[in-house]
Structure 1
């Protein structure tokens, strides 16, 4: 592999548009960065393939990529020791009063009606582990309605817009929620066509903006480009944290500002229970006056494969430690006063940021240019080979936040990820479907409805359309005194 990476460029070969050797200026630039090995097979290429290789390399921002490779493969930077998150940094479920929740809900709805909230969806991943080559958002988990993840989320936005308008003194002046959807080169075209063919699920086309996250070359252990083909550098998406650079480079942060946006709700596509544009969370965020916030759930058990929030040194910023970086002692350590895990607040990719902070963090992440190194199998001219992908993570932003607060939510109400195919041990379409059906069944019973079922109720339930209710509200008129057979969808 190394011979291919750093091999010398042959001075002879078929003469085409570029002659017997690569363009001299481009070759010298590649030598400056130690990447001339990308031209190692130049003499074996057809004129057409030579043209493809030159265009591929010319499309790269070589100075930026070199800076990222050097800084990421060098020191990862000093991180203060991890400490448990202070209780004062967490809004816990048991501490909230009905008055608090109502106040936050109203405050959030008002901000939404005034157009001060934008929503950013991280949707760059494919459903490979689910057995699908389509974007994850196109996936249907098998609900009675057959709705995809994208449709469920779009309809929750529609519902919140309706609730915001109803709560406003000027319903006709209520502004729509703008939805920014980050795709990747592998999902962009399919995602756009999916929305177009389904008429944006009832949303206006001009309130949805698609944008692609960036890609970076995959590299060997010594930092050399891996060649996917003799005329193409292997590349991979730059992680879900690439959202910050993408929003900045594509001037979408400016677009948000021009729309009057002050707050940004950011989440991942694969959570079936995600409360998109949650007014309660937004109202809480506004009231706290912080730069960033995250919804968290308690770890289900010590070995659960989830990252957790920690504090970096006493009085330092909150950040996330990935489960792979936690030693056994940290994973199992118990708080003797509560009997609970000391490191218990799981990051579930449900975040709220001020727009001002997003501008700051986009600049800071680009300036520092330190990416996580993920060792993966990379497609190359020699078949799949081990190499490194360079990625930023969505939670990297918290390291730069002057003020972060955590908002505990109940797993059974807001977190049902879809990551693995049915038959796996956890986070499958079936497990997520069952969590949604159980939650909605509780809503129906609380609203005075009754359920019948032909299989044990713990194995099934009913689905409430997001167009009918966002979080279980306004169901009495639909459900009281009525009987519903599970499984089915309730939609009015």
Structure 2
């Protein structure tokens, strides 16, 4: 096999010959598959990325003297008239089919101990709805609200960035559930790229005797994936102008939030980020700041403790703009980053447990980190913004992520579920209803943000009641008071 000999020479040149260590034990088809995988990897380029990531890791330890707090605009401080104006502008954009949503959904939910993507996970709600269903139904409700306002039924394109590990499962799940009522043609899946995993000595890890360990290139792989998949071109040809990008794991995410989108449109923002007030310097939440007039997100682990704990004159943390991965981009901005700056985005090193071939040739999974995954982060593109917005929202209204298994008792399904039901209880009580028991769920098809709940006035709701829209309403109804 001339190709195999060429690969041997290439790997020898770059000190990666161990990748063929077991080639003599493989069948002909296994050898062919290994060779095809290795040929699909630009060995020279990925080793350059490894070296760049090592350099970036040092540079990412930002000198705290360069950090400056970012100017934040606070949603709750604005008067109702202005918020209504932003809401109206956002709905107009939806009615005119100018808005798309991109869900960062390539994660495998390994920390949750589940064998399928987070978006498919049962949340434990009375309705049985998953994160994907909740988010899709919020989009459907917005389309209806926009039509009620304008008489025009717009289209929101729902895009899900998957990974090699999650793409088929996500695609099958959405098909089985008929895209949760969204038109099939308005749902787009596209895969982020993968990179080899390395050991701490810079050697590419062999996961099986016939395959290299690969991992998704981080949510910052969005920009490359948009371009190479052709989705960026499709969105442009479809008339999309504005894009909401968010993580799949936030149960409270206000998908395609018309207020946020309207604010950004009115103010000519090309890149915006929602933040929450960070009150604990040790909370694992990156902060948005300015460094030499550029907007950046600095991970909590990269900020010296004395800087992280420093307070302003009001007694709040000086660096309190906690990033929640809910971003506004103009399509022009995404196009500019994807075409002109993707190669310049920073690289990050994540030390992870990587399954590999052990000394005896058997597959082995360590109990502590043994490998390096190279990642890009979606917020690393903030430095290319020409007009940036940090928009602070209320944590209890918009942020409750699912990051950990239930055992951790923080940022897990039980905490997310409680946050959603606490918000729904607040909506009911503000509309004159009463909740006894504390666990009531409101369908996104009935209310996007607490509006349209006049029917709850004077009614009492018990534990685990579900308020549904007409199209999904169950026979049982709450007790009249």
Partner of 2:449: 471
Partner of 1:199: 178
1:153-232 to 2 correspondences below 5 Å = 153-168=135-150, 170-171=151-152, 174-232=153-211
What is the CA-CA distance between 1:424 and the residue it aligns to? Answer: 1.6
From 16, 39, 44, the equivalent of 1:58 is 39
* Distance (whole Å) between structure 2 residues aligned to residue 117 and residue 413 of structure 1: 22
What are the Cα deviations for residues 78-130 of structure 1, in whole angstroms up to 9, with x where unaligned? 867542324xx311134311111000000000011111111000111122222
After superposition, the Cα gap between the structure-2 partners of 1:131 and 1:71, relative to the gap in structure 1 and judged at 3 Å, is closer
* Distance (whole Å) between structure 2 residues aligned to residue 227 and residue 344 of structure 1: 42
* Distance (whole Å) between structure 2 residues aligned to residue 366 and residue 63 of structure 1: 18
Q: Is the 8 A contact 1:120 1:266 kept in 2?
A: yes
Partner of 2:217: 238
* Distance (whole Å) between structure 2 residues aligned to residue 46 and residue 344 of structure 1: 57
* Distance (whole Å) between structure 1 residues aligned to residue 439 and residue 24 of structure 2: 64
What is the CA-CA distance between 1:26 and the residue it aligns to? Answer: 3.2
After superposition, the Cα gap between the structure-2 partners of 1:491 and 1:393, relative to the gap in structure 1 and judged at 3 Å, is same
1:397 aligns with 2:397: no
Partner of 1:7: none
What is the CA-CA distance between 1:434 and the residue it aligns to? Answer: 1.0
* Distance (whole Å) between structure 2 residues aligned to residue 24 and residue 366 of structure 1: 34
1:490 aligns with 2:467: yes
What is the CA-CA distance between 1:369 and the residue it aligns to? Answer: 5.9
Q: Is the 8 A contact 2:72 2:321 kept in 1?
A: no
The secondary structure found in structure 1 opposite 2:46 is helix
* Distance (whole Å) between structure 2 residues aligned to residue 160 and residue 428 of structure 1: 27
From 306, 326, 334, the equivalent of 2:285 is 306
* Distance (whole Å) between structure 2 residues aligned to residue 407 and residue 250 of structure 1: 31
Q: Is the 8 A contact 1:107 1:279 kept in 2?
A: yes
1:285 aligns with 2:264: yes
TM-score of the two chains, using structure 1 as the length reference: 0.89
After superposition, the Cα gap between the structure-2 partners of 1:408 and 1:151, relative to the gap in structure 1 and judged at 3 Å, is same
From 307, 312, 317, the equivalent of 1:341 is 317
What are the Cα deviations for residues 353-393 of structure 1, in whole angstroms up to 9, with x where unaligned? 11111122223453226421112221111124612111111
Partner of 1:276: 255
Partner of 1:412: 396
What is the CA-CA distance between 1:49 and the residue it aligns to? Answer: 2.0
From 424, 429, 434, the equivalent of 2:408 is 424
What are the Cα deviations for residues 400-447 of structure 1, in whole angstroms up to 9, with x where unaligned? 222211110000000011122223231121111111111111111111
Q: Where does the alignment leave 5 or more consecutive residues of structure 1 unmatched?
A: 1-17, 454-459
1:74 aligns with 2:61: no
After superposition, the Cα gap between the structure-2 partners of 1:96 and 1:395, relative to the gap in structure 1 and judged at 3 Å, is same
Partner of 1:325: 302
Q: Is the 8 A contact 1:317 1:404 kept in 2?
A: no
Q: Where does the alignment leave 5 or more consecutive residues of structure 2 unmatched?
A: 359-363, 470-481
Q: Is the 8 A contact 2:194 2:217 kept in 1?
A: yes
The alignment of Structure 1 onto Structure 2 pairs a total of residues equal to 458
What is the CA-CA distance between 1:288 and the residue it aligns to? Answer: 1.6
* Distance (whole Å) between structure 2 residues aligned to residue 134 and residue 159 of structure 1: 27
Q: Is the 8 A contact 2:56 2:348 kept in 1?
A: no
* Distance (whole Å) between structure 2 residues aligned to residue 219 and residue 39 of structure 1: 16
From 362, 387, 392, the equivalent of 2:371 is 387
From 352, 355, 364, the equivalent of 2:328 is 352
* Distance (whole Å) between structure 1 residues aligned to residue 396 and residue 350 of structure 2: 31
Partner of 2:82: 100
The secondary structure found in structure 1 opposite 2:284 is coil
* Distance (whole Å) between structure 1 residues aligned to residue 15 and residue 270 of structure 2: 40
